Amino acid sequence: MEIIKTAIPDVLIFKPKVWGDERGYFYESFRQQWFTDAGIEATFVQDNQSSSQRNVLRGLHYQIQNPQGKLVRVISGEVFDVAVDLRKSSPTFGKSVSVSLSDDNKLMLWIPPGFAHGFCVTSEHAELYYKCTEYYSPEYDRSLLWNDPALQVEWPLSGSEIILSAKDIAAKKLIDAEVYA
């Protein structure tokens, strides 16, 4: 497993070694030792899977209590994946990291607790699978406005193309959002 650093040191890209031939491929998608070796203390307690069509944007989501660390990968299709640092004490507060995750590149994104997460689907359909370090707590669920200019995220789709949930339409700008200490 190759671990690639991003512009935000706590957010990492995991690039697995893939063995393939005419029959298909094989790779390890998770091994606790990779996290230990990278100095990450994470215990995963919940796995989630999301299915979405082209132009669906989900996020930017986070839990203000019981923040979730997430290891995100795409098992079918392609998404533009984004993590936004919401730790007020961090030198990268309000900054984001984005990466294209697909079933072709098999990259995985580690998003530590204290970040908002979102993605938009750039293929016809995508299946996103992610491991979480905390259980989902709907009472603490929050949504950060995906197109807040303060975030400077360069989404690959325009606003008129994007399909949002009511929750994400009503999301708050960074200046008004609850954030972490």
> For residue 76, what is the enclosing H or E element?
strand 70-76
DSSP 8-state assignment for residue 133: S
- Annotation says 130 is catalytic: yes
End-to-end CA distance of the chain: 33
d(CA 169, CA 164) in angstroms, rounded, equals: 6
- Rounded to whole angstroms, the Cα distance separating 176 from 91 reads 19
Query: Which of 61, 129, 135, 140 is the catalytic position?
Result: 61
Exactly one of 27, 62, 130, 136 is catalytic; name it.
Answer: 130
- How distant, in Å, are the alpha carbons of 6, 39, 145 from that of 174? 22, 29, 7
Active site residue 125: no
Count other Cβ atoms within 10 Å, centred on residue 162: 16
Q: Are strands 115-121 and 57-63 parallel, antiparallel or unpaired?
A: antiparallel
| Residues identified as active-site | 61, 130
